[in-house]
Structures are given as C-alpha cells and as structure tokens.
C-alpha cells in the first residue's frame, strides 16, 4: 500500500525545472499597455489620481500548485525506478525516485562522463597509451574487470570500451588516474561535477562503484546524469554504449545489458550489481515517431536478478512509448511572446527558449495543450540575452502539466537619460 502511495505518473511537472515567482499573464489575453502622450499638466493630475487609487486597491496573485494528470503506472519489481522522456526532460512515471540507493557499477556513468570531458578538452587523447598502475591491476579480483596488466600499456580508447561495455573496475581506476593523477583527486572531481549537475542526492567515494557507505545516489539523479551524458557527448555515447561485446588481452566478454540483444531500439546505457545493491539497469531506447525520433530513459534499481531487471526495464520502455507522446511546441529561438520593455533602447523583446521544446502528454490529449505565459513584469532594461524573464506553463484541462523557464532571445540595452526618465514616470501609472 505504501509503495502505491509513492508511485507517481505524469503529469506533475518536469523533474528538472525550478518554478519561479512571476506576474500572471494569460498567453491568449496579454493586453498591450496604452501609451498616453498628454501634456505635462495632465500627467501630474493622472499621477495624483493614481496615488489615491493605490491606497484603495491591493492586487494579489496566487499561483496554484501543479495538479497531476494521472495515468496508472505499471507495477515494477524494483526498490526504486523512474522513466524519463529525454525529448521533453519530463519524468513520465516513478516510484521512490529520491530514495538513497547503492549505485554499484552505475557509478561508472560519472567516470565515463569525466573521461569524455577530458578527451573533449584535449587533456586526454583516445589513442594515448598509458601505463597501468598496480592499484588498477589489483582492484578486487572477484569483481568485473577488463584484465589490464601493469607491464602492458593500454589506450584511452580501449579503457573506455572496457569501462562501458564490460564494466571493468580496473578500467575505472586506470581512467581516473589518467584524468586526475590519483583516484582520490578524481573522486573530488566526481563530486564537484555531481554538484554542478544538480545531483543533490549523490555522493561518490570511488570511480567504480564497489560497495562503500560514502557512495550513494538516487534514481532521479541517475536519470539527470544519463540525460546529460547523452546530450553533452552524443558521438561518444553512440560509439561506446551500444557495443555488445569487447575483446581485450585475448578475453572476450559480453555487455551485460541484455536489452541490447532483445530490443533493437535500445542503444545503451549501464548495468550495476553487487550483493548488497541487487541488480540494476539503466536503459535508453530511441524509437521513430511521426516527426522524427524519441528517446526514453528507464532507471530500474535493486531488482532480485538479471532477468528481472531486464524484463522490468523493457516493460517500462514499452509502456512509455505506447501510452505517451512528446509534442513539439516551439523551436529553438522561436519567439513565444514579444512583451514590452521599460527603460530600454527598444520597446519590445523576443522571449522564448534556447532549445526545441517538447511536452510529454498522454496519447490523445495533444489537442488539449494550452500554453500560458507568466512574465516577470515589468521587464526593465538592461536585459541580457538568455536572462530568465518568466515561465511558460503547459496546461491540459486547466491542470499544469509542466513548467518551463522563458528566456530573453536578445539583449536590450538601456535607453538614454531622457528615455529612462520618461519610462520611470510611465511606470508610476502602470
């Protein structure tokens, strides 16, 4: 019964959007302000009347809390799970998404992220050969390894394959030393990056995920990390995460993500298992839709077997693709609104998004979507490009589906001294 209470389905809002306090303005009924260009005497009289009125009137705007539009989620045999639509960044459904869990080898997602960043920033090269330390070679011999050896240099490229496709703990140590010099220094980098990404329920103590009380995470944080890895390093993701088997040192090992064989739309991501953590699996699948392709990411934590984590992950992905659509609302750079700007070098500003915007809704409800703009009025220059200027609420049947931050698509500098003075007077009567 308790599990059912904590199992939630879309649409209660995005897991990655922080709502802001805004002035409430209907997208359909935004009223342009009238500009009165009367005599100075008339302005003085109007100012007096406005001051009198202000003593009698108090305006209060209350933003209602998001109301979930529910669709019964599937029953998933796991301690914690979550299904994310990567197109819209919305959580479709989840259970115990913020429960602290042992990640096991899912830690290697962060190890890979930082190694990819080092290659991107040219601190490492894929063809670079590194010497294998004794620490890397001697990592728990009963755990998963790619079988690197101290006297045999190995390339960064092979270490990445060994880390991702066969979950080599020795590869994790070797990569951490290649990036930061020592594993301790790398762990500091891991936690710093977790903080940067907003993984508030996560802490790392090693680069491989072998049991430690100081290594923990949540399904929500893992979903954010996976989304960021795919978005930030799409070519690396494509190269390494769909590999079904890897041979090194004359030893061939399979990728433990069985869905790579069972579902042709699955192209990653990572398995995890220890005795204490159980069997976990994060899976990403991309399937064709009418307007292109759509990606879902399932996070399944703490099942009782490899078979169960596989079937529960497949269940979640199928349920998400079959019951929900990702609807494109706006293109990157498209103006959602062009409100007035006060004290600026121009009178209006284009506001919108820096990426294509999708919203995930139950199938058959796309025609009910109604966007509503809530601006941080009055918008007073100077305003820098990409500055947050409001929120777009997506409504279905008068219920909030999700909230998205609106940003300035252009910068607006300050007006001259007379223009600013004029608008200061006008603001008194607004």
What are 75-104's pLDDT values in tens digits? 999 999 999 999 999 999 999 999 999 999
Which CATH number among 2.60.410.10, 3.40.718.10, 2.60.40.10, 3.30.450.20 corresponds to the domain 8-66+331-428? 2.60.410.10
Which CATH number among 3.40.50.720, 3.40.109.10, 3.40.640.10, 3.40.710.10 corresponds to the domain 80-326? 3.40.710.10
**pLDDT at residue 141, rounded to an integer:** 86
* Other beta carbons within 10 Å of 149: 12
The residue annotated as part of the active site, out of 80, 87, 165, 167, is 167
Is the Cβ–Cβ distance between 359 and 399 less than 8 Å? no
The model scores a pTM over 0.85? no
Confidence grade of residue 289 (pLDDT, cut at 50, 70, 90): confident
The residue annotated as part of the active site, out of 105, 176, 284, 313, is 105
Please provide the average confidence, as pLDDT, over all residues in the chain.
Answer: 85
**For the segment 109-124, what is each residue's pLDDT rounded down to a tens digit?**
999 999 999 999 999 9
Q: What is the separation, in whole angstroms, between the first and last Cα of the chain?
A: 53
Q: Return the structure tokens found at 74.
A: 């599937």
The residue annotated as part of the active site, out of 12, 88, 94, 108, is 108
Q: Which is higher by pLDDT, 21 or 311?
A: 311
**DSSP code per residue over 235-294:** HHHHHHTT--EEEETTEEEE-S-THHHH-TTEEEEEEEEETTTEEEEEEEEEEEETTEEE
**How many Å is the maximal CA-CA distance in the chain?**
92
Residue 46 pLDDT exceeds 50: no
- 24-49: average pLDDT: 36
Say how far residue 419 (Cα) sits from the centre of its chain. 41
Is the Cβ–Cβ distance between 112 and 208 less than 8 Å? no
How many degrees, rounded to 5, is the angle at CA 130 between CA 210 and CA 138? 35
**pLDDT at residue 72, rounded to an integer:** 86
Confidence grade of residue 430 (pLDDT, cut at 50, 70, 90): confident
**pLDDT at residue 48, rounded to an integer:** 35
- Locate tokens 């989304």: which residue? 227
**For the segment 296-353, what is each residue's pLDDT rounded down to a tens digit?**
999 999 999 999 999 999 999 999 999 999 999 999 999 999 999 999 999 999 999 9
Residues 6+ positions from 301 with CB-CB distance below 8 Å:
78, 79, 80, 81, 101, 219, 222, 277, 278, 280
Give the start-to-end residue ranges of the domains of the chain.
8-66+331-428, 80-326
User: What is the Cα–Cα distance from 147 to 138, expressed in whole angstroms?
Assistant: 10
* Catalytic annotation present for 108: yes
SS3 letters across 175-203: HHHHHHCCHHHHHHHHHHHHHHCCCCCCE
């Amino acid at each position: 019964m308790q599990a059912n209470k904590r199992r939630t389905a879309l649409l209660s809002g995005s897991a990655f959007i922080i709502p802001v306090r805004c002035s409430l303005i209907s997208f359909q009924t935004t009223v342009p302000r009238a500009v009165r260009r009367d005599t100075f005497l008339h302005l003085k009289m109007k100012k007096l009347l406005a001051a009198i009125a202000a003593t009698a009137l108090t305006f209060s705007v209350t933003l209602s809390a998001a109301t979930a539009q529910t669709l019964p989620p599937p029953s998933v045999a796991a301690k914690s799970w979550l299904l994310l639509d990567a197109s819209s960044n919305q959580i479709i459904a989840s259970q115990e998404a913020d429960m602290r869990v042992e990640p096991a080898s899912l830690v290697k997602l962060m190890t890979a992220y930082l190694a990819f960043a080092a290659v991107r920033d040219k601190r490492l090269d894929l063809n670079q050969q590194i010497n294998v330390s004794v620490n890397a070679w001697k990592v728990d011999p009963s755990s998963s390894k790619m079988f690197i050896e101290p006297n045999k240099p190995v390339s960064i490229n092979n270490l990445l394959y060994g880390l991702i496709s066969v979950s080599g703990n020795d590869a994790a140590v070797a990569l951490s030393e290649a990036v930061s010099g020592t594993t301790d220094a790398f762990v500091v980098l891991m936690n710093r990056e977790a903080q940067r990404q907003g993984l508030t329920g996560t802490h790392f103590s090693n680069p491989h995920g072998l049991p430690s009380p100081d290594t923990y995470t949540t399904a929500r944080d893992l979903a954010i990390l996976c989304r960021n890895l795919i978005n930030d390093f799409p070519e690396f993701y494509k190269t390494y995460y769909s590999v079904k088997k890897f041979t090194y040192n004359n030893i061939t090992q399979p990728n433990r993500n069985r869905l790579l064989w069972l579902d042709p739309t699955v192209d990653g991501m990572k398995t995890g298992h220890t005795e204490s953590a159980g069997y976990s699996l994060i899976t990403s699948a991309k399937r064709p839709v009418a307007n292109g392709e759509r990606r879902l990411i399932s996070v399944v934590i703490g099942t009782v077997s490899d078979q169960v984590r596989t079937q529960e992950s497949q269940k979640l992905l199928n349920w998400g693709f079959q019951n929900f659509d990702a609807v494109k609302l706006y293109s990157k750079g498209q103006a959602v609104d062009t409100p007035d700007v006060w004290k600026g070098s121009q009178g209006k500003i284009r506001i919108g998004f820096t990426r294509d915007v999708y919203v995930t809704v139950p199938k058959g409800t796309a025609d009910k979507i109604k966007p509503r703009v809530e601006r941080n009025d009055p918008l007073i220059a100077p305003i820098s490009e990409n500055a947050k200027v409001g929120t777009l609420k997506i409504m279905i049947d008068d219920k909030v589906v999700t909230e998205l931050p609106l940003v300035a698509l252009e910068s607006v500098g300050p007006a001259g001294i007379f223009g600013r003075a004029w608008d200061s007077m006008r603001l008194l009567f607004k």
